[in-house]
Amino acid sequence: MSHGLHGEYVGLGPLDEYPIHQLPRPVAWAGSSDRHFYDRSYLNCHDRSGDIFLITGMGFYPNLGTKDAFVLVRRGDTQTAVHLSDAADVRGGDRMEHRVGGYRIEVVEPLQQLRVVLDETEGVAIDLTWRGLFPAIQELPHVMRQGSGTVLDAQRFAQVGSWEGVIAIDGEEIAVTPDVWTGSRDRSWGIRPQGEAMPAGKPADPPFEGMWWLYVPIAFDEFCICLIIQEAPDGYRVLNDCTRVWKDGRVEQLGWPRVEIRYGSGTRVPTGATIHCTTPDGKDLSFEVRSHLPVPIHVGGGYGGDPDWAHGTWKGEGFSERFTYDMKDPAVAGRVMFGVIDHVGSATVHGPGAGVPDGSEGWGLFEHGALGRHDPSGFKDWFDLAP
């Protein structure tokens, strides 16, 4: 009997030697036949100055036969993107290596330490080591439906941490030290739109009018907070998850946060937010969040309808490319309001529920998108802007 790559043996790979199976099939075969099944890492890195923000990630799309990675860096008014893509190993071996071309993610210590490397590609290179400052947080499952169809059904965990290493852009090397450089990361997997566009079928009824999204993982000295909120156009909250993790391991849920977003006049780009929470014992806790540098992740990052890069799309074997964006270019600036923006974020915490001195400062990610109509914000349609 042949054990070559055909028939029922095509899926067997090295992971099948381990007792980790969740389904009666090889690990390389996704648990769902949905073409949008994915498994992705996302990480961000900044030095708390607002001068630079690096965002990177890697994804596997087993039902599309592809894998890809990206590095996105903003400095001043320039946003640089490097994209890499290749065929995925049908036996799943590359999911142990986490490699696409010259890009790789090494798991040094699961849930605690990673190394992210991009060998020089199109003038950009990184060699960065991540260390978690607090335990990883398992977020609530995230489900979105349109009519009877499932648009998104995913699980994710998040973590805040520090970085060490070097970033090199066009011959300039930037030292990354853990006393200053921080950020957040997440791992997610499940079903989410990927790859080439599908035939539309019957128009959505009711039509998609937009969504409001807020994601704020922040590290303070004594605890971290990870907040996720999604609302429908009428303000109905379809996802609400706000967790605080203390250094001693205590985990608290912070209730049903009330949020006030401040937008730049004539834009949908937030400058900050006030978030009001409640501790399990009923005490008030609020934190003031400020944006120090915005990075629209749908401009070169592959998220949310990015016309230049779509996760999971087949680009051919060994593919790489670079884009450089002038964020003052009207053609680029006009895209910003139609996607999610990641910001270098800082926050100060206040109130009797803080448990630390009033005004204690933290740093992390401030991610927000107000897409289309959102009644609580006063946005009437896709083109309405803040006064």
CB atoms within 10 A of CB 283: 13
pLDDT at 343: 98
pLDDT at 3: 43
Three-state secondary structure of the chain: CCCCCCHHHCCCCHHHHCCCCCCCCCCCCCCCCCCCEEEEEEEEEECCCCCEEEEEEEEEECCCCEEEEEEEEEECCEEEEEEEEEECCCCCCHHHHCEECCEEEEEEECCCEEEEEEEEECCEEEEEEEEECCCCEECCCEEEEECCEEEEEEEEEEEEEEEEEEEEECCEEEEECCCCCEEEEEEEEEECCCCCCCCCCCCCCCCCCEEEEEEEEEECCCEEEEEEEEECCCCCEEEEEEEEEECCCCEEECCCCEEEEEECCCCCCEEEEEEEEECCCCCEEEEEEEEEEEEECCCCCCCCCCCCCCCCCCCCCCEEEEEEEECCCHHHHCCHHHCCEEEEEEEEEECCCCCCCCCEEEEEEEEEEEEECEHHHCECCCCCCCC
pLDDT score of 7 more than 60: no
Calculate ∠ Cα 248-240-190, nearest 5°.
90
Task: Give domain status of residue 69, yes or no.
Answer: yes
pTM of the model: 0.94
Split into its structural domains, the chain has a count of 1
Q: How far apart are the first and last CA of the chain?
A: 72
pLDDT score of 345 more than 90: yes
- Stretch 93-118: mean pLDDT, rounded? 95
Q: Which of 119, 95, 86, 111 is nearest to 40 (CA)?
A: 95
pLDDT score of 51 more than 90: yes
Task: Give domain status of residue 385, yes or no.
Answer: no
Distance, in Å, from the CA atom of 163 to the CA atom of 181, rounded to the nearest integer, reads: 5
- Which of 11-20, 216-225, 228-237, 297-306 is least confident? 11-20
pLDDT tens-place string over residues 162-204: 999 999 999 999 999 999 999 999 999 999 998 888 777 777 7
Task: Give domain status of residue 85, yes or no.
Answer: yes
pLDDT score of 367 more than 70: yes
pLDDT band at 36 (very low <50, low <70, confident <90, very high): very high
Task: Give domain status of residue 204, yes or no.
Answer: no
pLDDT tens-place string over residues 310-331: 999 999 999 999 999 999 999 9
Domain that includes residue 71, residue range: 37-188+209-377
Task: Give domain status of residue 386, yes or no.
Answer: no
Task: Give domain status of residue 266, yes or no.
Answer: yes
pLDDT tens-place string over residues 133-171: 999 999 999 998 887 788 889 999 999 999 999 999 999
pLDDT score of 41 more than 50: yes
Give percent of the chain with pLDDT exceeding 90.
83
The rounded mean pLDDT for the chain is 94
- Identity (one letter) of the amino acid at 253? Q
Task: Give domain status of residue 32, yes or no.
Answer: no
pLDDT band at 341 (very low <50, low <70, confident <90, very high): very high
pLDDT at 261: 98
| CATH number reported for the structural domain that contains residue 87 in this entry | 2.40.370.10
Task: Give domain status of residue 336, yes or no.
Answer: yes
